Amino acid sequence: MQTRDTATTPPTTERSAIVYKMFELKAAEGDGAERSFDVIASTETVDSYGDIVKANWRLERYANNPIVLFGHNTRDPSCVIGTASDVKVDGGALKARITLVGEEVNPEAERVFKLMKAGALRGISVGFLPHSYGWAKVSDQEVFVLDDNELFEISVVSVPANPDALAQLHAKARQELAAKSATPPAVEPAPEPAPSEPETKSDGEPTSDHPRAQLARLAMELTGAEDATAAQGALRALKAAADEVPALTERASKAEAEVVSLKRAALLERAVIEGKLTKDPSDPRRAHAEKCAGLAELGAYLGTLQVRGAHMNAKPQPAARSVESGNPSSVALTDEEVRLAKQMGNNLDAVLSAKRSLLAAAARDDQDDDTAAE
């Protein structure tokens, strides 16, 4: 490997730039009863980001607590799914055997185990601290070398971790290299990460000044989510709810219009039952009532009307004449009255009885008025 001037100064604090790298599951061993998998956690080949992770590992810290996580989640106990053993550097690669706990210990581990056995989960990611890093030339290709790496944890993952911390290391190395070179590099250096905390926390919450990290923090503040993934899900749910607002508004408007229509019909029917109106469209009272714009205007107008028999020139309603002639059984509910009674949950017999009583009373009033007029 041909190298040029590189930034090899260790980070100023121990966890100032925790890096996550994703590799693939090597193979499943045994008949499944052992619940163990051999994994290649890291190699020295150039990965898709143009990086090389040197097989120079500090394993002492991890050996004291060799846990296996799901998705780099250190806060949720259910994400502790197993342990690692036989962690070693062999043939230029970091290798380990991971063993998942049983369902009786952690149901989440059982789900991960079944997905791994089925081949649906094959991602193995390591979280580590590179104590040395810099740019180098490999076969005329510029690559970023991570060296003197201290292992913190091993995780089973479905997708790669957020590469913001690694991007910050890239930028910092270029910045230091530019200070030593007469010609500054074309890539604009990113701001140096704050020394007091890692660029990406172990629970996935972004902490850097990268625009994506700032957006993620804002989304978490707005939604109250604990991490960026949950915040993204909450924002998507809010957008889906907002998309439904026009349709909900339209349905509410239709429902409101239907309620107003039912109330208007009920007022008119009540006026007919009380003998204030007829259903004849040519009736001046009926025509005026139909022209009333709102419920308040209609109610006010109907309140000014008297029963037909109270006017000298008024003609008694046919239903009233039926009662007057001694045939109350001829009075029946109209189809509209039946529909309204059912809509309001009223008993049909009770409504019919009330109608007959009202019309009978109106007929008696007409007779009294006619007698007084004579």
Rounded to whole angstroms, the Cα distance separating 62 from 81 reads 16
Question: What per-residue confidence (pLDDT) applies to 361?
Answer: 64
- Cβ atoms of 144 and 19 within 8 Å: the answer is no
Residue 205: count other Cβ atoms within 10 Å of its Cβ: 19
Rounded to whole angstroms, the Cα distance separating 278 from 320 reads 11
pLDDT along the chain (374 residues), means of 10: 41 55 58 74 75 89 93 88 93 89 93 88 85 84 88 84 54 68 54 51 53 76 79 80 84 83 87 88 87 82 74 43 49 80 79 76 59 52
Rounded to whole angstroms, the Cα distance separating 136 from 281 reads 96
Model-level pTM? Answer: 0.42
Alpha helices for 274-317 (secondary structure H): 284-291, 295-304
Rounded to whole angstroms, the Cα distance separating 264 from 284 reads 18
* Nearest one of 155, 154, 174, 157 to 166, comparing CA atoms: 174
Question: What per-residue confidence (pLDDT) applies to 259?
Answer: 84
Question: What per-residue confidence (pLDDT) applies to 64?
Answer: 94
DSSP 125-184: EEEEEEEEEEEEEETTEEEEEEEEEEEEEEEEESSPPPTHHHHHHHHHHHHHHHHHSSS-
Provide φ and ψ at 141, rounded to 5°: -115, 130
